[in-house]
């Protein structure tokens, strides 16, 4: 393996992210608009993902809370039962992660809506989801280097974080609230 500088790694990651953004922007925007409507119309939003995808969704949960949405992270001890009128926002690169797919089925069974983020809309998760936002990136098991030179789904996980921020920003702009309006919800026990 050749030595790579941090600068070269940043260039590679930045280039892959820019390509991902360009592809997502060029895609059909109907699912993205549906995603915004699902988030805006939900009584409560639950986020769920495994590993780094889950960490990226926790960032989204925080921003949605700043916007005033009632948000819960699945697996936390204070997370209530999901019910009709709620939304489960999940991320799974492959769309086959057992715990994520089962949570989506449980949510759908009780009448909650499901918004999925994945690398594909042809998976068990997408079959359950009301809407799937596709990020065309490598899954964690794709080590071919064709979809991304990054390790173990890194591009997908970065894309989940960026997509979450984009969803938040679009909802924030729709709300008409200023940054000062959101600030009182920012953590103050730091």
What is the tens place of the pLDDT at every residue in 84-137? 999 999 999 999 999 999 999 999 999 999 999 999 999 999 999 999 999 998
pLDDT bin (cut points 50, 70, 90) of residue 187 is very high
In the annotation, is 157 catalytic? yes
From CA 14, how far away is CA 17, in angstroms rounded? 5
H or E segment and range at residue 47: strand 45-49
CATH of domain 29-181: 3.40.50.10490
For helices 154-175 and 6-26, the axis angle rounded to 10 degrees is: 60
CA–CA distances in Å: residue 37 to residues 2, 59, 113, 130, 164: 47, 20, 11, 12, 14
pLDDT bin (cut points 50, 70, 90) of residue 170 is very high
Helix (H, G, I), strand (E, B) or coil at 77: coil
Angle at 41 between CA 92 and CA 118, to 5 degrees: 15
Q: Give the domain ranges of the chain.
A: 29-181
What is the tens place of the pLDDT at every residue in 36-87? 999 999 999 999 999 999 999 999 999 999 999 999 999 999 999 999 999 9
Model confidence at 153: pLDDT above 80:
yes
The token pair that represents 178 in the structure block: 């200023």
Catalytic residue among 33, 127, 157, 190: 157
CB 92 within 8 A of CB 128: no
Q: What local confidence, expressed as pLDDT, does residue 89 receive? A: 98
From CA 93, how far away is CA 53, in angstroms rounded? 8
Model confidence at 1: pLDDT above 70:
no
pLDDT bin (cut points 50, 70, 90) of residue 172 is very high
- Mind giving me the DSSP string for 131-156? EEEE-----TT--SSSS-SSSTTHHH
Residue with structure tokens 């997908």?
156
């Amino acid at each position: 393996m050749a030595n790579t500088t941090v600068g070269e790694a940043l260039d590679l990651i930045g280039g892959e992210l820019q390509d991902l953004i360009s592809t997502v922007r060029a895609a059909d925007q109907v699912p993205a608009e549906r995603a915004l409507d699902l988030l805006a119309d939900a009584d409560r939003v639950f986020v769920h993902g495994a590993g780094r995808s889950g960490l990226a969704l926790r960032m989204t949960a925080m921003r949605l809370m700043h916007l005033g949405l009632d948000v819960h992270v699945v697996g936390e001890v204070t997370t209530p039962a999901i019910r009709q009128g709620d939304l489960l926002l999940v991320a799974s690169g492959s769309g086959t992660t057992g715990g994520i797919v089962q949570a989506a089925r449980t949510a759908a069974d009780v009448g909650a809506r499901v918004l999925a983020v994945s690398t594909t809309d042809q998976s068990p998760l997408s079959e359950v989801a009301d809407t799937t936002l596709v990020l065309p990136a490598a899954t964690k098991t794709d080590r071919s280097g064709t979809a991304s030179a990054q390790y173990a789904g890194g591009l997908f996980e970065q894309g989940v974080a960026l997509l979450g921020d984009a969803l938040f920003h679009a909802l924030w702009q729709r709300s008409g609230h200023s940054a000062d309006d959101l600030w009182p919800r920012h953590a103050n026990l730091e």
